[in-house]
Amino acid sequence: MADELGAAQHEIDMYIRLIPLIALVDGSNNRRVTVTEGEPSMVPSCSDHHTRFPSRVVEFIDLHVQGAAKPGEIAGKSVTVDLQEGKIMDIEAVLKLCIHTEKNYPGFRRFDFFQIMEATDGFSEKRKLGKGGFGTVYKGHLHDGLTVAMKRFDADAAIFDFKTELQLVSIHHGNLIKLLGWCIHEKERILVYEYIQKGSLDRTIFRKTKGALLNWSKRLQIIKGIAEGLLYLHKHYWIVHRDLKPNNILLDLDTNPRIADFGSAVTLVSDVAEEHTGRVVGTSGYIAPEYASQGIYSLKTDVFSFGVLVLEIISGRRNFTMELQGDTVGNLVRDAWHMWRDEKLHELVDPALSDGYDSPVIIRCTQVALLCAQEDPADRPTMTDVTAMLNSESILLSDPKEPTELTNGGASADSSSSYTGQSSKTIDITITSSAPVSTRIRIIVDRDLTGEKYNQQLLYSRIDIDGCKKMIDSSSLCIGIPK
């Protein structure tokens, strides 16, 4: 209890130290600075194409503090300030936290920085496994023969990005990534994880050459493993991952899935809690409708993402949404529902599976996935129900409701298989600069029906600049910037 009170006092001290820093911002800067309340988070994501959906424009401003020798230096201590989260990264505080955690968890150990440098060849590009919004992950080979994944945090990562990730030390499950150790050296903050040999799920299911390696038995094993991992997080810790997608599912040598990259995760006060945030994070195509539009999240937020993920594992296709046409669930969910209704689920199944699958099992998995991907969270089952439905054929399943159709000339109810026989590649790009805007552009490159080449066509783009939304067609790449 004394340790917990001490940690709470330190947290309050950091908030107090932030107040005068904001008050002393140079008045010559005309840009508006908004400090929002930070929310609990979990492991920083380092997966590729990680996308944030801010409800307001994201600004990072150089602070000119009166009486300080250098910007960002308080009482002689080097700190990093993230005004959006209202947090100060105090290296000394993080160091104390890691030492305290190591004492309480003997298996969690400290790594020497020079040992990490040697293991990663000085953080060389050839060792890079992935990069996300909070840092970069590198593959490292230690002297004892152990291969690990080392997450090197960016300089602007907030304190909760690092601090709450340490909760993984106490969470042990066969379908969750394992945290092994830490390293704090000057301004470097590094966490060390077990290395998962086969990499992320997206590198397999979306590639024809590798997708064939995942037969239906292995895909079902992956689906059930992810469900068990989520159930463990929800039932025992009330943790919402909030960015469940193939990039964040790692496969070991036995094709067992490990949920990773908890950068968007939060802990609820109960298993039925529903909370609201002004800072919506996640990845397009997997984010629940109520969370994307209203910032409302609960355990049912992960259930929606799980449903989309299952449909992708079954079909080998990505789900993408057309937000400007009122799309709330994505093309894959909509197509799958029409195929399920018309009893044409054979059109949904990944061609790489050929005929090597059990039709009744795939039909059941698809129906469970559609129930998970319902637009109304009240219509979605809990992960307890999901695991029961996947493991027992005696449980009767209800019929999933039809997804909302697209507006503005979108798909009609009769176009049940508008994407059959096609595959598409979605690239989410976040562009940031010194200007006070955050711009996200989605580019979809569609493969023609012969599968021999790409059409090199910009099918859909969305740009958010101070709330302004623009559509760009393939005939013009000129972007209108509002005054």
- Three-state SS string over 382-431 comes to CHHHHHHHHHCCCCCCCCCCCCCCCCCCCCCCCCCCCCCCCCEEEEEEEE
Q: Supply the CATH classification number for the domain 34-194.
A: 3.30.200.20
What is the rounded distance in angstroms from the CA atom of residue 131 to the CA atom of residue 125? 11
CA distance 211 to 190: 33
Q: Taking the CB of residue 429, how many other CB atoms lie within 10 A of it? A: 11
- pTM beyond 0.85: the answer is no
The pLDDT value recorded for residue 130 is 87
CATH tag for 202-391 (out of 3.40.50.1980, 2.120.10.30, 1.10.510.10, 3.40.50.2300): 1.10.510.10
Residues of the chain with pLDDT under 50: 20-86, 88, 410-483
**What pLDDT, on a 0 to 100 scale, did the predictor assign at position 183?**
95
| CATH 1.10.510.10 residue ranges for the chain | 202-391
pLDDT (tens digit, 9 = 90+) per residue, 328-338?
999 999 999 99
- Residue 433 has a pLDDT of 34
Helix, strand, coil distribution of the chain in percent, nearest 5? 35, 20, 45
C-alpha–C-alpha distance, residues 265 and 165, integer Å: 9
151 in a known ligand binding site:
yes
Positions of CATH 3.30.200.20 in the chain = 34-194
3-state secondary structure 106-145: CCCEECCHHHHHHHCCCCCHHHEEEECCCEEEEEEECCCC
3-class SS at 15? Answer: helix
User: Residue 19 has what pLDDT?
Assistant: 57
pLDDT of residue 289: 96
Catalytic residue list contains 243:
yes
- CA angle, residues 421, 371, 389, in degrees to nearest 5: 105
> Residue 120 and residue 301: Cα distance in Å, rounded?
36
List the catalytic residue out of 90, 161, 243, 327: 243
**What is the distance between the alpha carbons of residues 445 and 121, in angstroms, rounded to a whole number?**
35
The CB density around residue 239, as the number of other CB atoms within 10 Å, is 24
